[in-house]
């Protein structure tokens, strides 16, 4: 099954089963703190998280070969934050994030070829080579970027949700930000209005501990970031986002609240990036031990262990799946390598909708 | 059938007609709903369209500008009112980095059909934070359109076009013009963005201006007429795009040009026009181009200082005489 088809099937499943899962989970958690997810869930998580990991490892290699240029921020370590949310939401929901934006579209089913081509600045990229790593967009799956100004996407996410509410669609917007973004004024203005107007938005802080090289503790006296939502009476919770199941459950709860017209939720995902802030970051602000500790909590390993324990698949099955993913990634590189850069005549396109806009040319 | 209405009424009619025509259009800003608008532009619209579509915001320009852009990306057509464009500076990230860039950085997937509107420039003795012109700032950014009407007729026709436009439009008015009256037809009409208007035909000198400085330009033209000098006065109506051809055509006829603009002189619209005319009408110029901008200073509170700094008829006449060698 292709990634996109898989996602679509999964999305329909998620839509039908949100309340079901919610009810089951409450019961199950009370009993033994275990989870009650299906084989389909685990296989979806494993496949999409591993795709993110292998795709980005390859992107990192290609960056060092100078095939990919500009700023490139890897998501490695944080994959559960994307895959757990994709399984919890449905088609029609909208997605927006900052510039660490490779994970969500991969998990949503955007073509890896078009994503790799965008990193390569090729005309076959999702944004036609005009956005690059920081500005991936895919309208097909509702992925609305890919934004480069820290915190700038937070009011945009509220506005996307505003439009859903205005049009009565029942869709939600999930709006990601890093822990650095919570110190921006834009976030506080957006939180306030999103609560005032009960917008169907799920705000997700991906707290990986560092705003570039500055640790959370060095940016504010308030280090429990989810408590920032409480200033606006916004339901807020902390989520162990190294566990994809927890991500799924938290996003499901938030989505249900949003769809019931009860407004936004703030989720603080506690997560970790294994790599530096961007490709040029040697990450001297943290210890190797710290990084190694988090690797023991790796979300992909954890899902793999569950799959094997529950006998949802054999080692051989998973190896075959990984081989398939490696092939998808290799093909994306080949596709990107063989694609042309945008023709210079493309420069005056896609700036205005007005086709004959009279640019100042001299 | 035309009747005389105020500038603010012309804007209100434009918004009312477009909101009636298209349910995706809504108005959002500070005091636009219950208070009926800080300058009464949106008076009565809350009663007519309800709170779903006429929306009061907290004082949070960055936030609601961004919410507007997000809503526009996702199928709506917001009108975002800034109480004045002086306050748009805290929102400028969303205007420049989001609204103006979305089409390009998404490879054409997401457009932003939004109007940011409100008054620009000086408005009495308000001192320096409330008396600024950023038309040239916004005009500098590709991805935006910048409209600056000078009378009620243009304001209505241009605002209707701006609301229907698929691209982000900055629409700049003036507190000092809201009470101006002018003839506006009962029938519906639209005015295209990017087409200048010859407000007064003439043969001896061209005066180019836009927005509220058009009054200064037209009054100066009246004064020149008394001396037997025939001035052609061109209202740009938009400063992005600029109707360069209209200016060049006029200069080829009059051979002399003065530009009147309220903004500061460095890197102003007047600089841009002057560059263009020296390149494309060089052989037609009988004198260097002159311009009348605000002096290169913050605008203080005292009336004597305001008088000394703002462009006015006297300085426009001096500039005209200089290019006429009189």
- Out of B60, B67, B105, the one facing A127 most closely (by C-beta) is B105
- Residue A12 binned pLDDT confidence (cut-offs 50, 70, 90): very low
Longest dimension (CA), chain B: 60
Q: What is the three-state SS of B242-253?
A: CCHHHHHHHHHH
ipTM above 0.95, yes or no: yes
Q: Are A99 and A131 in contact (CB under 8 A)?
A: no
> Minimal Cα–Cα distance from B252 to chain A, Å?
19
B165 and chain A in contact, CB less than 8 A: yes
Q: Are A136 and A71 in contact (CB under 8 A)?
A: no
Could you give phi then psi for residue B80, rounded to 5 degrees? -105, 120
Residue A201 CA, chain-centre distance (Å), reads 15
Closest by CA to B254, choosing from B209, B217, B201, is B201
Least confident of A196-200, A232-236, A288-292, B182-186: A288-292
**Beta strand extents in chain A (DSSP E only):** 94-97, 143-146, 173-178, 201-207, 210-211, 214-215, 236-240, 265-270
Look at residue A297 in the predicted model and tell me its pLDDT.
87
Separation CA A101–CA A145 (nearest Å): 7
pLDDT tens for A87-117 read 999 999 999 999 999 999 999 999 999 999 9
- Examine residue B241 and say whether the peptide bond preceding it is cis (omega within 30 degrees of 0): yes
Look at residue A17 in the predicted model and tell me its pLDDT.
43
B26 and chain A in contact, CB less than 8 A: yes
Can you tell me which residue has the tokens 């076009």?
B161
Look at residue A16 in the predicted model and tell me its pLDDT.
43
Q: Are B216 and B32 in contact (CB under 8 A)?
A: no
Could you state, in order of their start, the residue ranges of all structural domains in chain A? Answer: 35-334
Could you give phi then psi for residue B66, rounded to 5 degrees? -65, -40
Catalytically annotated residue among B9, B130, B135, B272:
B130
- Examine residue B277 and say whether the peptide bond preceding it is cis (omega within 30 degrees of 0): no
- Other C-beta atoms closer than 10 Å to the C-beta of B214 total 27
Say yes or no to pLDDT of A10 above 50: no
- In the stretch 169-198 of chain A, residues with CB closer than 8 A to chain B read 173, 185-186, 188-190, 192-193, 196
- In the stretch 122-141 of chain A, residues with CB closer than 8 A to chain B read 125-131, 135, 137-139
Chain A contact set for B104 (CB, 8 A): 130, 350-351
Chain A contact set for B71 (CB, 8 A): 159-160, 162-163, 166
Question: In angstroms, how far is the first alpha carbon of chain A from the final one?
Answer: 53
**Which residues is B81 bridged to in the sheet?**
B29, B117
Separation CA B274–CA B319 (nearest Å): 14
The pLDDT of B100-125, averaged and rounded, is 97
Can you tell me which residue has the tokens 């860039």?
B101
DSSP, collapsed to helix, strand or coil, labels residue B6 as strand
- Out of A146, A159, A190, the one facing B71 most closely (by C-beta) is A159
- Other C-beta atoms closer than 10 Å to the C-beta of A1 total 9
> Minimal Cα–Cα distance from B272 to chain A, Å?
10
Residue A165 CA, chain-centre distance (Å), reads 22
Query: From residue B170, how far is each of B17, B66, B238, B275 by CA, in Å?
Result: 19, 14, 10, 24
**Cβ-proximal residues to B172 (8 Å cutoff; 6+ apart), any chain:** B85, B117, B118, B119, B120, B121, B135, B146, B147, B148, B211
Q: Which CATH number fits domain B197-323: 3.30.950.10, 3.40.50.970, 2.60.40.420, 3.40.50.920?
A: 3.40.50.920
pLDDT tens for A49-80 read 999 999 999 999 999 999 999 999 999 999 99
The verdict on whether B276 is a catalytic residue reads no
Could you state, in order of their start, the residue ranges of all structural domains in chain B? Answer: 2-185, 197-323
In CATH terms, the superfamily for domain A35-334 is Thiamin diphosphate (ThDP)-binding fold, Pyr/PP domains (3.40.50.970)
DSSP, collapsed to helix, strand or coil, labels residue B4 as strand
The verdict on whether B30 is a catalytic residue reads no
- In the stretch 79-118 of chain A, residues with CB closer than 8 A to chain B read 94, 96
Higher pLDDT, A22 or B37: B37
Residue in chain A nearest B106 by alpha carbon = A127
The pLDDT of A36-53, averaged and rounded, is 97
Where does chain B have alpha helices with state H?
Answer: 7-21, 45-49, 61-73, 92-93, 102-105, 135-139, 152-164, 213-226, 244-254, 269-280, 303-309, 313-323
Look at residue A274 in the predicted model and tell me its pLDDT.
84
Residues recorded for chain A: 362
Separation CA B298–CA A152 (nearest Å): 30
The pLDDT of B4-17, averaged and rounded, is 98
Separation CA B151–CA B155 (nearest Å): 6
> Minimal Cα–Cα distance from A272 to chain B, Å?
28
Work out whether strand B231-235 and strand B205-209 pair parallel, antiparallel, or are unpaired. Answer: parallel
Separation CA A356–CA B236 (nearest Å): 19
Token duo for residue B27: 């108005």
Going A208 to A209 to A212 to A216, the CA torsion angle's sign is positive
pLDDT tens for A126-159 read 999 999 999 999 999 999 999 999 999 999 999 9
Say yes or no to pLDDT of B305 above 50: yes
Q: Which fold has domain B2-185?
A: Rossmann fold (3.40.50)
Say yes or no to pLDDT of A22 above 70: no
pLDDT tens for B113-123 read 999 999 999 99
Separation CA A229–CA B143 (nearest Å): 34
pLDDT tens for B24-42 read 999 999 999 999 999 999 9
Catalytically annotated residue among B30, B61, B81, B262:
B61
A347 and chain B in contact, CB less than 8 A: no
Q: What is the mean pLDDT of chain B?
A: 98
Look at residue A273 in the predicted model and tell me its pLDDT.
86
A264 and chain B in contact, CB less than 8 A: no
Residue B212 CA, chain-centre distance (Å), reads 8
Separation CA B154–CA B210 (nearest Å): 11
Look at residue A212 in the predicted model and tell me its pLDDT.
86
Say yes or no to pLDDT of A25 above 50: no
pLDDT tens for B269-299 read 999 999 999 999 999 999 999 999 999 999 9
A120 and chain B in contact, CB less than 8 A: no
Percent of chain A with pLDDT over 70: 91
CB contact under 8 A, B143 and A185: no
**Which residues is B185 bridged to in the sheet?**
B2
- In the stretch 236-255 of chain B, residues with CB closer than 8 A to chain A read 241-242
Residue in chain B nearest A172 by alpha carbon = B74
CB contact under 8 A, B108 and A163: no
The 8-class DSSP code of residue B307 comes to H
B267 and chain A in contact, CB less than 8 A: no
- Out of B52, B76, B105, the one facing A163 most closely (by C-beta) is B76
Q: Are A74 and A95 in contact (CB under 8 A)?
A: no
Higher pLDDT, A150 or A8: A150
Rounding to the nearest 10 degrees, give the CA dihedral for residues B163, B14, A196, A268: 10
CB contact under 8 A, A127 and B194: no
B141 and chain A in contact, CB less than 8 A: no
Residue in chain A nearest B57 by alpha carbon = A193
- Out of B58, B71, B103, the one facing A162 most closely (by C-beta) is B71
């Amino acid at each position: 099954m292709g990634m996109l088809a898989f996602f679509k099937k999964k999305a329909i499943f998620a839509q039908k089963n949100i309340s079901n899962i919610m009810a089951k989970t409450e019961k199950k958690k009370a009993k033994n703190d275990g989870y009650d997810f299906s084989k389909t869930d685990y296989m979806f998580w494993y496949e999409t998280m591993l795709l993110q990991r292998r795709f980005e490892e390859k992107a990192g290699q290609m960056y060092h070969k100078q095939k990919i240029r500009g700023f490139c921020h890897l998501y490695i370590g944080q994959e559960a934050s994307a895959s757990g949310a994709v399984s919890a939401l449905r088609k029609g929901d909208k997605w927006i994030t900052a510039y660490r934006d490779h994970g969500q579209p991969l998990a949503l089913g955007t073509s890896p070829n078009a994503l790799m081509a965008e990193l390569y600045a090729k005309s076959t990229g999702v944004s036609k080579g005009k956005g690059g790593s920081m500005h991936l967009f895919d309208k097909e799956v509702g992925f609305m970027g890919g934004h480069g100004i820290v915190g700038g996407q937070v009011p945009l996410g509220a506005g996307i949700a505003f439009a859903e509410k205005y049009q009565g669609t029942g869709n939600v917007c999930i709006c990601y930000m890093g822990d650095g973004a919570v110190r921006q004024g834009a976030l506080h203005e957006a939180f306030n209005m999103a609560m005032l107007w009960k917008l169907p938005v799920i705000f997700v802080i991906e707290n990986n501990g560092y705003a570039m090289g500055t640790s959370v503790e060095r940016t504010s006296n308030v280090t429990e970031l989810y408590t920032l939502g409480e200033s606006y009476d916004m339901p807020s919770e902390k989520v162990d986002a190294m566990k994809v199941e927890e991500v799924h459950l938290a996003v499901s709860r938030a989505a249900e609240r949003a769809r019931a017209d009860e407004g936004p939720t703030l989720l603080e995902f506690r997560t970790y990036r294994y790599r530096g802030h961007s490709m040029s970051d040697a990450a001297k602000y943290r210890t190797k031990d710290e990084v190694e500790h988090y690797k023991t909590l790796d979300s992909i390993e954890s899902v793999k262990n569950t799959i094997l324990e529950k006998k949802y698949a054999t080692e051989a099955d998973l190896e075959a799946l990984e081989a398939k993913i490696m092939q998808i990634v290799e093909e994306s590189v080949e596709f990107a390598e063989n694609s042309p850069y945008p023709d210079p005549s493309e420069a005056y396109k896609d700036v205005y909708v007005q086709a004959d806009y009279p640019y100042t040319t001299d | 059938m035309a009747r005389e209405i105020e500038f603010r009424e012309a804007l209100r009619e434009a918004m009312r007609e477009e909101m009636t025509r298209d349910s995706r259009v809504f108005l959002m800003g500070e005091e636009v709903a219950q208070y009926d608008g800080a300058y009464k532009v949106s008076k009565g619209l809350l009663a007519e369209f309800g709170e779903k579509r006429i929306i009061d915001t907290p004082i949070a320009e960055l936030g609601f500008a961004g919410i507007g852009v997000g809503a526009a990306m996702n199928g709506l057509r917001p009108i975002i009112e800034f109480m004045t464009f002086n306050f748009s500076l805290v929102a400028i990230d969303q205007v420049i980095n989001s609204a103006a860039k979305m089409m390009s950085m998404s490879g054409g997937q997401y457009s932003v059909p939004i109007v940011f509107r409100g008054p620009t420039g000086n408005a009495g003795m308000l001192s320096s934070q409330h008396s600024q012109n950023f038309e040239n700032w916004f005009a500098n950014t590709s991805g935006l359109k910048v409209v600056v009407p000078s009378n009620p007729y243009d304001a209505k026709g241009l605002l209707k076009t701006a609301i229907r436009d698929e691209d982000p439009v900055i629409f700049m008015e003036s507190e000092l013009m809201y009470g101006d009256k002018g003839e506006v037809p009962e029938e519906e009409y639209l005015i295209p963005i990017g087409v200048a208007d010859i407000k007064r035909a003439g043969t001896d000198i061209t005066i180019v201006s836009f927005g509220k400085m058009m009054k200064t330009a037209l009054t100066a033209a009246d004064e020149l007429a008394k001396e037997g000098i025939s001035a052609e006065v061109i209202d740009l109506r938009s400063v992005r795009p600029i109707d360069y051809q209209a200016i060049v055509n006029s200069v080829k006829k009059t051979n002399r040009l003065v530009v009147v603009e309220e903004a500061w002189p460095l890197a102003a619209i007047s600089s841009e026009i002057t560059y263009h005319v020296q390149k494309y009408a060089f052989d037609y110029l009988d004198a260097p181009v002159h311009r009348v901008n605000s002096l290169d200073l913050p605008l203080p509170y005292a009336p004597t200082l305001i008088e000394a700094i703002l462009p006015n008829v006297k300085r426009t006449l001096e500039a005209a005489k200089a290019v006429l060698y009189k």
